[in-house]
Amino acid sequence: DAGITQSPRHKVTETGTPVTLRCHQTENHRYMYWYRQDPGHGLRLIHYSYGVKDTDKGEVSDGYSVSRSKTEDFLLTLESATSSQTSVYFCAISVSSGNTIYFGEGSWLTVV
Amino acid sequence: QQQVKQSPQSLIVQKGGISIINCAYENTAFDYFPWYQQFPGKGPALLIAIRPDVSEKKEGRFTISFNKSAKQFSLHIMDSQPGDSATYFCAVSGGGADGLTFGKGTHLIIQP
């Protein structure tokens, strides 16, 4: 158990609506990540954070924003959900850069 | 440009056999090479990892072979068991804050 809680675990939403996924960690790790997993694409980095209020874009950041106001929480927001954002979203944490990252259990998002 | 190429996409091995999954990378600055195992409905979990200062690392039935000159590394699962059936991902890191870059995954089935 990596001490990561993702919420919601499952969500169905309509195209054009805003959606926020929450990642909460109990490990007090500095680095947090949001990945999406899609068949044939593996795991792709959306955004990452290297400290409170310190965030940066990953490989597939278009249509997503993030915020980190506390060490333990990392929020991923889809401002206006599209069907292409139907995916499984994983939060991950790491104690240091360039080292092992630990994943949460995932959030299944369906945009209809 | 894909930073890490993983093959095969899927693999079927008989119980007791050896499963071999390969990954190739381009950037010689990468210095951390982990393998993750993922069961359906779960987040990926670290299986085994290697740094480029060694050519092989073994943990139980799992071995990473690393060829720095060829820029390749592979996962060997000895005496494969049905419980090893899962999706396996290789990953690379250059030590930056942006976490790991993953291969597209290999779906492994161990037949009884």
The pLDDT assigned to A1 comes to: 61
Nearest-CB residue to A98 (from B32, B44, B46): B32
Give the distance, in angstroms, between the CA of residue B34 and the centroid of all CA atoms in the same chain: 7
Closest chain A C-alpha to B32 CA, distance in angstroms: 7
Residue A86 has which token pair?
């139907």
Taking contacts as CB-CB distances below 8 angstroms, the residues of chain A near B104 are 40-42
| DSSP β-bridge partners for residue A24 | A5, A73
B89 touches chain A (CB under 8 A): yes
The count of C-alpha atoms lying within 13 angstroms of the C-alpha of A76, restricted to the half-sphere facing its C-beta, is 35
Per residue in B86-95, pLDDT (tens digit) is 999 999 998 7
Q: Is the backbone of residue A61 left (phi > 0), alpha (psi -120 to 50) or beta?
A: alpha
**CA of A51: which chain B residue's CA is closest?**
B97
C-alpha dihedral over B84, B109, B57, B8, to 10 degrees? -160
State whether A98 and B95 contact (CB < 8 Å): yes
Per residue in B62-102, pLDDT (tens digit) is 999 999 999 999 999 999 999 999 999 999 998 788 889 99
A50 touches chain B (CB under 8 A): yes
State whether A45 and B98 contact (CB < 8 Å): yes
A42 touches chain B (CB under 8 A): yes
A58 touches chain B (CB under 8 A): yes
B100-B105-B107 Cα angle (round to 5): 150
**CA of B31: which chain A residue's CA is closest?**
A98
Per residue in B9-49, pLDDT (tens digit) is 999 999 999 999 999 999 989 999 999 999 999 999 999 99
Q: Give A 60-89 residues with CB within 8 A of chain B.
A: none
Asked if A30 contacts A48 with a C-beta cutoff of 8 angstroms, the reply is no
Q: At A3, is the secondary structure helix, strand, or coil? A: coil
Taking contacts as CB-CB distances below 8 angstroms, the residues of chain A near B32 are 98-99
Nearest-CB residue to B43 (from A41, A50, A90): A90
Which of the residues in chain A have pLDDT under 70?
Answer: 1
B44 preceded by cis ω (within 30°)? Answer: no
Residue B68 has which token pair?
């720095």
The count of C-alpha atoms lying within 13 angstroms of the C-alpha of A60, restricted to the half-sphere facing its C-beta, is 19
Nearest-CB residue to A48 (from B34, B49, B97): B97
> Distance between CA atoms of A7 and A24, rounded to whole angstroms?
8
Give one DSSP letter per residue of chain B, joined into a string.
--SEEEE-SEEEEETTS-EEEEEEE--TT--BEEEEEE-TTS--EEEEEE-TT-SEEEETTEEEEEETTTTEEEEEESS--GGG-EEEEEEEB-SSTT--EE---EEEEEE-
